[in-house]
Structure 1
Amino acid sequence: MIHLKNVNKEFNGRIILHNINLNVEKGETLAIIGASGSGKSTLLRLMIGLLQPTSGEVWIKDTEISQLPEIDLDKIRLNMGMVFQYSALFDSMTVGDNVAFGLKEHTKFTSEKIQQVVQEKLKLVELEGFEAMMPNELSGGMKKRISLARAIAFEPEIVLYDEPSSGLDPIMAAKIDELIVNTQQVLGVTSVVVTHDMNSAFHIADRIAMVYDGELIAIDDVDGIKNSQDLRVREFIHGTIKPIKRRQTHVDRS
């Protein structure tokens, strides 16, 4: 479904991603982990065409998208949904209008059909009946769920998530995890989830990829990552760092 081939990305001469080769298979959930600034969110933006690689190829199914004009990229994106880290809802629109936005812009659905789809997607994220509410009336977790409902309104084949549980309490974070799993099972979508939450990654992912200083250093199933012998992987997933050896100093007690 997604194939990155020899992808490099630089900003102002600074290397963000180096020689990334990655496949995401149809129907799987791939979690991308790594420290802040490692390049994992940049990967996500390359996949949806919000950024272009400095070199290399980005394939969505059978189309290489890195050099496509915006009008053609928009057609590809109709088959993709994205849940942004901060939800990115339109503050001036109701919940219902937020979920319906893409349907109104890109389909010829009747008002009745759009309303039906909105109700179905809100039910899927367990917010049925919230159509008339405004985003500023919602909690952070509810906004994330509305963002997911909007992302799947087209029933896309691919859904990308950027830190979906960031800033949420543990109970709501677990709820978002369940929705990601449920969405994959109900709609059969291919999911890519950028996260630093290892509990989340272990729960939702079929495979986990780790980015370290712009390089893809590991990709394996959950058990493989848990048992990795790479010190960088082990330190990240366990939240530990190698103890610093302090320099011995001689103290003159005379």
Structure 2
Amino acid sequence: MARKKSLTAQLLQAYQEAKKAKAAEEKRLQQEEARRARAAEQERLRKEREAVKQEREQAQRWVAAQREKKRQEAERKRKVEQVERDLARRQAAREKEAEQNEKERARRVQQAARLAKQEQVEQLKAEALERTSEVQAREAALRRVLVDHSPGLRNHRGTVEQALADGATAFVEAVEGALAGCEYPAGLRRAWRLAYVPESRELMVDVDLPGQDVIPSATGYRYKAADPPAVVPQPRKEAEAKELYKQLVARLALRAVDPSARRAGRGR
């Protein structure tokens, strides 16, 4: 049987065990403290990493927001520029259309002016031809005074002879009626006065002759391309006008003697 330990030994053993237990407790406490410290450090590091992550995410969101903002601004700018380009194109198209319309209007105005001028020229040329024809017709009528006329006094011979038997007044009236029935070109018929002297059996016929102004002062008319254009007369020479008037007076005198004397005037 083992010998019982002495009280001192027991006390010493108890002391040592208590010391070991204390050391173990302290070690455990230290380990717990270290664990807590590591846990706190890990929590701090986790929070720091979380904060860094949040800051990074926030920075990324800010960057993304800035990028989106820039993109939206660029898109708005692009749209504004597109609208401005569209407006500029439309304005250019309207201006071009207006310019073309103005050119077309000017072309039409010029064309209308040319047509109006051509029409005016044609009208003036036609007027010149018409007035020339009128002058020529007038001159021909004056030249044919002895050729173109109604039947002469010889057709009234029976009436006039009967009137002569009825007296001087009836005779004069019959001759006046015969003369009144004779046709003359326009402007040539003038007043006449008749007187019959029974004693000498003479009939005096006093006829007012037309003036030289019955002879056309122009031989014709022509178109003159002046500014403005006009129809101008071609003056008749004074010598020619006088000769025509002299011939007209001679024809009128012969016609007054006997309107049927056209054979005498033919070809003259």
Q: Establish whether TM, by shorter chain, passes 0.5.
A: no
Q: TM-score, normalised by structure 1?
A: 0.18
Higher strand share: 1
The structure whose RCO (Cα within 8 Å, separation 6+) is larger is: 1
Higher helix share: 2
Q: TM-score, normalised by structure 2?
A: 0.17
